[in-house]
Structure formats: C-alpha cells, structure tokens
Amino acid sequence: MEVKKIEKSGDKWEVVLEVGIPGQGLLEVLDELERRFRDYSFRADGRNITVEASFRILEPWEDEPAEDVAESMALELLSFITAGGPRGEI
C-alpha cells in the first residue's frame, strides 16, 4: 500500500492510494472493496488498485494531520484485504 497523493483542494483533502494485489483475485478484491468502502472510488490497473477519497477536517478538536488520516485509511484498507474481507474470503 502506498500513499500516492495528499492534496488540499478548497476545504477538502484529496487522497490517492495504490494497493498492490498479489495472485489472481484482483477483481474479487476490487468488488469487495467497492461493497465495503462506498465513500471511496476504486479502479484496477494491472496488478494494482487505485483508491481515491476525499475528506474534510471539520471539527476544531480534530488536530490529526491529513497525512495521518491518509495513513489510517491505508491501514484500514490493508487490514480489510489481508483479513480476507467481511467473510474471510478475499
């Protein structure tokens, strides 16, 4: 998993992640990710899945840097993939 881009655009942060998927299950992983993470957009490219997301840090007490939020997103996706999805089947 690699964070490819973190960029502020107006009042939003745009994040692009790239996930390398070993083996034959790219489309199955893509389908599971799309079902589970509806706020993100996904596209397959070779052996990788590109993830695009945007978010706002709205509350004044949310002092977590955008980079940390992007890293948390990456860890959540990676955990989902390595755990085999919601049914342990990926």
Angle of helix 26-36 relative to helix 66-82, nearest 10 degrees, comes to 120
pLDDT for the residue 62:
64
Tell me the mean pLDDT per 10 residues along the chain, length 90. Answer: 91 91 82 93 91 78 78 90 62
pLDDT for the residue 42:
96
> What's the rounded Cα separation, in Å, for the pair 15 and 51?
8
> What's the rounded Cα separation, in Å, for the pair 16 and 50?
7
pTM score, whole prediction: 0.80
pLDDT for the residue 32:
92
pLDDT for the residue 46:
82
